[in-house]
Structure 1
Amino acid sequence: MSLPAIPRQRAILDRRKLVAAIDDIVAEKGAADGRQAIVEQLRTALDAGRAELERRLVEKPGSGHESAHGYAFLIDQLIRIVHDHVIEHVYPVANRSKGERLALIAVGGYGRGEMSPHSDVDIAFVTPDKPTSWCEQVIEAILYYLWDLSLTVGHSSRSLNEVTRMAREDITIRTALLEGRFLWGDQEVYEAASRRFWAEVVPGTESRFVSEKLAERDARHRRMGDSRYVVEPNVKDGKGGLRDLQTLYWIGKYTHRVKSARELVDKGLFTQEEYRSFRRAEGFLLAVRAHLHTLAKRGEDRLTFDLQREVAARMNYADRPGKSAVERFMQFYFLQVKHVGHLTGVFLSHIEEETQERSRISEFFSALKPAKSVEGYPVQADKIAAPSDDWFQQDPIRLLEIFAIAEREGLEVHPATIRIARRDSGLIDAKVRKDPRANELFLDLLSGRRDPETVLRWLNEAGVFGRFVPDFGKVNAQMQFDMYHHYTVDEHTIRAIGLLSEIERGNLAEDHPLASEMLPLIQNRRALYVSVLLHDIAKGRGGDHSVLGAEVARKVCPRLGLDEAETELVAWLVRYHLLMSATAFKRDLSDPKTITDFIAEVQNLERLRLLTVLTIVDIRAVGPGVWNSWKRQLIGDLYENSVERLRLGHKAHGREKRVAAKKEVVAEMLGEQGNLVQSLDDRFNDAYWIAEPEDVIAINLPHYEAARQAGHALSIHAQFYEALGATLVTVIGEDHPGLFFRIAGAIHLAGGNIIDARIHTNRVGKAVDNFLVLDPLGKPFSEDQQLARLKKSIEDALANKIDMVPRLAKRPLKQTRAEAFHVAPQVLFDNDASNRYTVIEVNATDRPALLNRLTRAMFEASLIINSAHITQYGERAVDTFYVTDLLGGKIVAQERLDKVKRALLDAIAAGEPENAEAA
């Protein structure tokens, strides 16, 4: 194997010129004394070659193959020059013996001729027999030169016998040698190694090699998140990345002895078009990797948020209405890895059929069994297939029928049939999209009762999904450039449908008890599945995707066969699919107006149930760790409060009963201390009882009584609150202005983030403040030492033992991924959301001690905070405060509102890094 022709080679490295310069140094100083000067000549040539290749990449930013081969050529030339210098000038031998022979073999990616700017240089030094002293000296001298050039060299030194023996034992060595390319030295030794590899190592091990490579691939995918649609993908090792393409080539080469990927077409493993897709994906990924290495100035293969924007710019992507340059670049990236997934399925199905070994007896018995078929489709080994190559051409509706049958019967669609479906997906036109039978089949699949997620993913891989629902095709492989969403829009949607199906089948009753209980009660099942499909359908269109999505729903639903009432229901669900989470996470659920406003929009119990389930699967499908106990509690509280209001109607009657019921439950939970409910009744008003969960009240009351009995002016408690997966911090003491911002600062200094705060002043002027706290990784503090640190920090802050502002300034969190983003700060006032309070909502980039700065600004603006609700959406912090002025009234004067807004914006700006730029 040799490298493809490299254009303008001498501009990368002029070998004759460099060799002449080295010869001159040797002639003047000798090999030993001139060594440093020779290294400088080599380093200058290496730097100049890299600069030339980088310039070419800037000129042609998508030329991945050319760049990869160019870097391999540069390293080839340097190693050849070093080799010749060492054997001619450093260790010259007039008449070398048979043992004094050495072959340099490029192996691994270097052997394949695919090198990125900072790839490792993998070389095998091979000798006919055990290396002689001369061979060892030469190898060592070559390596020292390469190390002096700061190259990362992976190397081995073995005899022909050792190479053969170790390749039999170790799949890593076997894979490296599989791509071995003669680099320099003794070509006869290389050819002997190659002959022995193919004659003594490969025969009889093909099936084992395939299975080991696939197991290796699966393990790698699991390490990388097991999805090709994660938003910070690994270009090399991620699912659908370069390593997957290389795995196909390795398997093809090992089992079919091909010398290039092009030959896979001749072997029938790829069609010509699939091979072009292979090359296109490989070229694009190699280009992306080259840009990554160049920007990072090291071997960086992870396409992180901060690098995505820069790579997109280098590859000449531009903003478009509704879609930024980086989102367009990443959408193209995910389309390429999707093609890699399709190629993998097609390729492996061929290999599986070819390597399947069946005994004569099993063949005899299988011949006796009649072939199973379902509705005219042959089924073998639980795989359903198209009966003929032109099956879909005869009737394009069959492109939907086969997937619908597969879901209904619990079958896998044969990869070869997915290949045909992908080829014929263009047959789906307006006529097919309008066909009632086609729409019925699609709706059956979407709302299937076995495993719609998996089959919809096959439908998407085949290109049929986006053709049949063109609006879905527009969000195919579309990412959102933020830290909140872990997957592309299409992957998120398919995962949400899968979660809905799993909950309905009773598989997630422990994780989602509320949704599991209400799903059997829902009357509009089809509308629910369609609303999950369409909830994000309008993302990337340059407007409110909820409003635009409702318009899409009104067009798509009648086509799918939904009646007018179902269509309006789906449109409403899509329009308001964020209403429940926004209300639960950003509003005070103990405020009666919150529930009144929510119910005014929801209107009835059926819509409430549908919206609750849609909200749960939407949040859960965002990514791992996004759904947690705290969110489950808030959604559950909003649901229960809303059900109660819908059933009881008048709020006062319901409120009275709720408080009485809570008191009974708390008294029971307290056991022997149950009398505290009655004895402290004159201290706590109804607002406290409505706001706090029963188990928190059962924690607060004994603490309050103990502090009262002991005469403590300040009492602080911190404990792991298992029900919500967070740490509950309670501060009981004399209420005074600025209490909140001091506590918030102290919790931050102790390494905590507040996710919710309920501020109460009881009837005798005591503050009873409850905070839910997590660490910066979203985990609760549960160790005694951590809890003690939290308490001590708050004690010191409230006793003015620490100077808060300079301490906070000295303790910024380490650099985080959020530094790649900037959320335009926004301050919103709402005097209609509550009857008693002005609601202030602050949107900003999540930064260290943001809450402390905001609450301090409100204190300095003479505002009293009643409750705070802190929500993070990746890099975006959304903090909501229920406030009054010092006299307990709302903030209504425009001049006062403007002053508060300015103070809050200044507080946000104080925490921004100096180089923050608007996204």
Structure 2
Amino acid sequence: MTSVEVKTEAEDSGPGGYAAARLHLLQGEAQSGPPRRAALAELTDDWLAGLFKADAAGVRGAALVAVGGYGRGELSPRSDLDLLLLHDGSADAAAIAALADRIWYPVWDLGLALDHSVRTLGEARKTAGDDLKVQLGLLDARHIAGDLGLTASLRTTVLADWRNQAPKRLPQLRELCEERAARQGELQFLLEPDLKEARGGLRDATALRAVAASWLADAPRAGLADARRRLLDVRDALHLATGRATDRLALQEQDQVAADLGLLDSDTLLRQVYEAARTISYASDVTWREVGRVLRSRAVRPRLRAMLGGGKPAPERTPLAEGIVEQDGEVVLARAARPDRDPVLPLRAAAAAAQAGLPLSLHAVRRLAAVARPLPTPWPAEAREQLVTLLGAGRATVEVWEALEAEGLITRVLPDWERVRCRPQRNPVHTWTVDRHLVETAVQAAELTRRVSRPDLLLVAALLHDIGKGWPGDHSVAGETIARDVAARIGFDRDDVAVLASLVRHHLLLIETATRRDLDDPATVRAVAEAVGSASTLELLHALTEADALATGPAAWSTWRASLVADLVKRVGAVLAGGPPPVPAAAPATVEQERLAIEAYRTGGPVLALRAQTEATEPGAEEPLGVELQIAVPDQPGVLPAVAGVLAMHRLTVRAAELSVMELPDGVSADGATVSGGSVLFLDWRVAAEFGSLPQAARLRSDLVRALDGTLDIPGRLAEREAAYPRRRGAPAPPPRVTVAPAGSQLATVIEVRAQDAPGLLHRIGRALEAADVRVRSAHVSTLGANAVDAFYVTGPEGAPLPGADAAAVARGLEEALRG
């Protein structure tokens, strides 16, 4: 059915015909995007005009006006209808009210959302003056039916008021945009973004239209219309997929929305959304900067003219670098600059701007993008130095980098950047997209350059460490190859290229080893030392590890993780220096641990201790991290699944855990007690309450005693809880993966588990290992967002590592148990 046929059906059939024609239009495959939105707006206009004309007999001086999104003709399938019944006050109030009812009620009867008002021209103008949001909506007023002159008067008056009040209104609008961004986040980085409210979304695009309407400043037009259209297309598909008036692109809807838009997958969808959001965000930054400049200029100009006797002052230009000057709070090109002859000029301008903490002028960036010569291969030394200077500027690097990227200059100097640009990261631990994470890592690394002898290598490694995420397979392996090529292209010598490639290849080595391996096992330290190769590389890798974690998100780094990594670095450093790794203090490590172990051995039962943890966030301030739960139990089968099950029953989330065997020698303990030798399992857990407060230690101990003697049915209790309180299901999680780490230890077999974190997961792992008749010598449990990454050092009943075939069988059985 064509749009003309749809329109005719609506006109012939009244409200019922409109509903049928609307449904036909939305379900049709021939139209989508702007044509469908325009057709839906036209169809709705005709229906509402018909309602108005049928009921407006005898009512003069009235008009039906579309405002807001409907006024712009941007009707998504579930959009509100924003309507104003405007009148000149000459008609009887009762007649106007009756006319309004005869329009509003058919809209409500069809289940359409309606934002409506009835006002005179004077009332509309006063309300707009009092309420900025109303004024913004009226800027897009569009005539539907009635007195066209009345609608024209409204538009003329509102636009005149907006332009006259722009010096006061635009700062208010900017404040609204900033408050909304702080509340909703940045669209270009969110896994479940709000297409309308988040920074870089449709609200910001509308704000840019309002700024342009003020005639005070204008937004960069390149790509802006396409970005707005893309977000509207996604919102259309989202409305149709959900059947709801929602602007939040939830994870569970993304595959369907991508399919409806003809895209490959949800990652492609998010990447297009992020690209659109970046275009709008960058345009917003440039526009608001221009608004501020104009308003400052207007405030200062009268005084300057008075001082200069009415003459026009020349703008001040302060040199920053060769060919680069500061003018009016921005970095611009000097008049004598020749970007067509100076290939280093873009990097020199970016470095100067970042070091000065100033934005790059839009005009300067566009001129550089248009005429700058490409850099030769390998780069001249100055180009490499300017890149390092840009990366070392800290937080100011981000804004400058985004300006270069908006005009395509980043992918011109680093072509491999295209694969990571706007690439989403599905792991909720990550705050940023891949490309922004790389820049954020460089920002964090800039704070650590005083700790290393080669800060240039640290900064470049930070920028490249995840560059392989745009390629299939292990991103560290792919990244090593790319980093080697990039490092040679930008002019590093052979030795430096090898170091950068090694840093990218092993950028996860320290954090993964420190949190998932037994540092007391000589094989652990020796393997890291062999991979790193030199003390100078270890120094760089330590700083890169910290910068990478800090740039990932709050869940990726803590005082505890930092201490584990520092301990590993100390041990590896000793090996690289030619000596043995530092020997840890003999267990038990503390008097408190020794006391718990002795009491457990004496009583023959579990002993628990709870202790609140804090982390220093700044001098004099501490942030709560959760609770440390220490448990000592005489060595016996079933301890791990019993403890994990009891914690899950009490709704305690395990953030991290360490399990080790403590051998109590014969003799006198620290507290003077006489001890006969024996083995005690010591579990050090970091837990947090899922709901409410923590249970008492006595209750935990009581349930643990019952779990160990078999009188507490933990699987049954967990199943009952799951049935009573089913969890909300989002996007399907990837299946669990269980692997055997080759050569992970000479004393035990290392089995690594990666799975979706869930209540009772550790209990299920423990039961499966018990069923496999293996002994857990030590365990290293960590949670990163929704992912559990656990390593278990296991032996056979006789205490020796498992043969290869047996280890593979245990891993297969554990994976099958977790899949089930």
TM-score normalised to structure 1 length? 0.79
> In the superposition, relative to structure 1, how do residues 474 and 77 fare at CA in structure 2: closer, same or farther (>3 Å)?
same
Higher mean alpha-carbon deviation, 752-761 vs 855-864, is at 752-761
1:1-12 alignment, distance < 5 Å: 8-11=3-6
Establish whether residue 208 from structure 1 lines up as the match of residue 168 from structure 2.
yes
Higher mean alpha-carbon deviation, 632-641 vs 429-438, is at 429-438
> In the superposition, relative to structure 1, how do residues 304 and 630 fare at CA in structure 2: closer, same or farther (>3 Å)?
farther
Distance 1:818 1:466 in 2: 39
Q: 2:746 aligns with which of 835, 840, 847?
A: 835
User: What is aligned with 2:721?
Assistant: 811
SS at match of 2:86: strand
CA-CA distance at 1:714 after TM superposition: 3.2
Could you tell me whether the CA contact under 8 Å between 1:13 and 1:74 is conserved in 2?
A: no
Establish whether residue 16 from structure 1 lines up as the match of residue 15 from structure 2.
no
> In the superposition, relative to structure 1, how do residues 439 and 223 fare at CA in structure 2: closer, same or farther (>3 Å)?
same
Distance 1:704 1:734 in 2: 8
CA-CA distance at 1:421 after TM superposition: 3.3
User: What is aligned with 2:193?
Assistant: 233
Distance 2:25 2:459 in 1: 55
User: What is aligned with 1:50?
Assistant: 23
User: What is aligned with 1:336?
Assistant: 276
CA-CA distance at 1:826 after TM superposition: 2.5
> In the superposition, relative to structure 1, how do residues 282 and 370 fare at CA in structure 2: closer, same or farther (>3 Å)?
closer
User: What is aligned with 2:629?
Assistant: 729
Distance 2:709 2:118 in 1: 69
User: What is aligned with 2:78?
Assistant: 118
Q: 1:717 aligns with which of 599, 605, 609?
A: 609
Q: 1:490 aligns with which of 430, 435, 447?
A: 435
Q: 1:456 aligns with which of 391, 401, 404?
A: 401
Higher mean alpha-carbon deviation, 857-866 vs 45-54, is at 45-54
SS at match of 2:556: coil
Higher mean alpha-carbon deviation, 563-572 vs 480-489, is at 480-489
> In the superposition, relative to structure 1, how do residues 306 and 401 fare at CA in structure 2: closer, same or farther (>3 Å)?
same
SS at match of 1:476: coil
How big is each residue's C-alpha offset from its partner over 1:723-765, in whole Å with a ceiling of 9 and x where there is no partner?
5923222223343311211211121122223221314354455
Distance 1:859 1:48 in 2: 65
Could you tell me whether the CA contact under 8 Å between 2:343 and 2:374 is conserved in 1?
A: no
> In the superposition, relative to structure 1, how do residues 803 and 436 fare at CA in structure 2: closer, same or farther (>3 Å)?
same
Establish whether residue 569 from structure 1 lines up as the match of residue 499 from structure 2.
yes
> In the superposition, relative to structure 1, how do residues 185 and 809 fare at CA in structure 2: closer, same or farther (>3 Å)?
farther
CA-CA distance at 1:875 after TM superposition: 4.1
Distance 2:519 2:708 in 1: 29
CA-CA distance at 1:834 after TM superposition: 1.6
Establish whether residue 756 from structure 1 lines up as the match of residue 657 from structure 2.
yes
Distance 1:566 1:499 in 2: 21
CA-CA distance at 1:500 after TM superposition: 1.2
Distance 1:602 1:818 in 2: 42
User: What is aligned with 1:403?
Assistant: 350
User: What is aligned with 1:444?
Assistant: 389
Distance 1:66 1:787 in 2: 65
User: What is aligned with 2:37?
Assistant: 68
CA-CA distance at 1:174 after TM superposition: 0.8
User: What is aligned with 2:256?
Assistant: 310
1:746-825 alignment, distance < 5 Å: 746-754=646-654, 755-760=656-661, 762-763=663-664, 764-765=677-678, 767-775=680-688, 783=693, 785=695, 794=704, 797-798=707-708, 800=710, 802-812=712-722, 819-825=730-736
How big is each residue's C-alpha offset from its partner over 1:711-731, in whole Å with a ceiling of 9 and x where there is no partner?
473333333232592322222
1:547 maps to a residue whose letter is: V
How big is each residue's C-alpha offset from its partner over 1:355-389, in whole Å with a ceiling of 9 and x where there is no partner?
43033323446948964333343422332212459
Q: 2:231 aligns with which of 274, 280, 285?
A: 285
* Gap runs ≥5 in structure 1: 1-5, 20-37, 257-267, 319-324, 505-518, 660-685, 911-919
Could you tell me whether the CA contact under 8 Å between 2:85 and 2:100 is conserved in 1?
A: yes
User: What is aligned with 2:621?
Assistant: none
> In the superposition, relative to structure 1, how do residues 522 and 179 fare at CA in structure 2: closer, same or farther (>3 Å)?
same
How big is each residue's C-alpha offset from its partner over 1:780-834, in whole Å with a ceiling of 9 and x where there is no partner?
x994557676556545544645422222223349777984243243322236222
Establish whether residue 478 from structure 1 lines up as the match of residue 423 from structure 2.
yes
How big is each residue's C-alpha offset from its partner over 1:47-85, in whole Å with a ceiling of 9 and x where there is no partner?
5523422333xx56xx43223323323433343344445
1:132-281 alignment, distance < 5 Å: 132-199=93-160, 201-226=161-186, 228-255=188-215, 269=218, 275=221, 277-281=223-227
User: What is aligned with 2:788?
Assistant: 877
User: What is aligned with 1:701?
Assistant: 594
CA-CA distance at 1:13 after TM superposition: 6.4
CA-CA distance at 1:126 after TM superposition: 2.5
How big is each residue's C-alpha offset from its partner over 1:269-313, in whole Å with a ceiling of 9 and x where there is no partner?
46xxx6462221121111111111111221222223322222222
Establish whether residue 863 from structure 1 lines up as the match of residue 774 from structure 2.
yes
2:401 maps to a residue whose letter is: L
SS at match of 1:155: strand
Q: 2:374 aligns with which of 429, 435, 438?
A: 429
> In the superposition, relative to structure 1, how do residues 188 and 459 fare at CA in structure 2: closer, same or farther (>3 Å)?
closer
Distance 2:150 2:106 in 1: 23
How big is each residue's C-alpha offset from its partner over 1:607-666, in whole Å with a ceiling of 9 and x where there is no partner?
222111111111221234332333223223322333344457235xx42xx42xxxxxxx
CA-CA distance at 1:221 after TM superposition: 1.5
Could you tell me whether the CA contact under 8 Å between 1:108 and 1:175 is conserved in 2?
A: yes
CA-CA distance at 1:117 after TM superposition: 1.4
Q: 1:361 aligns with which of 280, 303, 307?
A: 303
Could you tell me whether the CA contact under 8 Å between 2:282 and 2:403 is conserved in 1?
A: no
How big is each residue's C-alpha offset from its partner over 1:589-622, in whole Å with a ceiling of 9 and x where there is no partner?
2323212222222233322221111111112212
Aligned length: 790
Percentage identity across paired residues of the two chains:
26
CA-CA distance at 1:573 after TM superposition: 0.7
Distance 1:815 1:396 in 2: 61
1:807 maps to a residue whose letter is: R
> In the superposition, relative to structure 1, how do residues 144 and 795 fare at CA in structure 2: closer, same or farther (>3 Å)?
farther
Distance 2:579 2:625 in 1: 33
User: What is aligned with 1:558?
Assistant: 488
How big is each residue's C-alpha offset from its partner over 1:326-378, in whole Å with a ceiling of 9 and x where there is no partner?
33333333222222233334444554455430333234469489643333434
CA-CA distance at 1:109 after TM superposition: 0.9
> In the superposition, relative to structure 1, how do residues 564 and 390 fare at CA in structure 2: closer, same or farther (>3 Å)?
closer
Distance 2:786 2:778 in 1: 23
Could you tell me whether the CA contact under 8 Å between 1:747 and 1:793 is conserved in 2?
A: no
User: What is aligned with 1:583?
Assistant: 513
Could you tell me whether the CA contact under 8 Å between 1:433 and 1:468 is conserved in 2?
A: no
Distance 1:810 1:782 in 2: 20
User: What is aligned with 1:22?
Assistant: none
Distance 2:796 2:713 in 1: 27
How big is each residue's C-alpha offset from its partner over 1:557-580, in whole Å with a ceiling of 9 and x where there is no partner?
233232222111111111111111
Distance 1:189 1:627 in 2: 62
How big is each residue's C-alpha offset from its partner over 1:375-416, in whole Å with a ceiling of 9 and x where there is no partner?
343422332212459953454432222112223444332233
CA-CA distance at 1:171 after TM superposition: 0.5
Establish whether residue 466 from structure 1 lines up as the match of residue 411 from structure 2.
yes
* Gap runs ≥5 in structure 2: 616-623, 665-676
Establish whether residue 536 from structure 1 lines up as the match of residue 466 from structure 2.
yes
SS at match of 2:188: coil
How big is each residue's C-alpha offset from its partner over 1:99-140, in whole Å with a ceiling of 9 and x where there is no partner?
xx5432211111111122112222222232397122223323
2:75 maps to a residue whose letter is: M
User: What is aligned with 2:643?
Assistant: 743
SS at match of 2:632: strand
1:418 maps to a residue whose letter is: V
SS at match of 1:486: coil
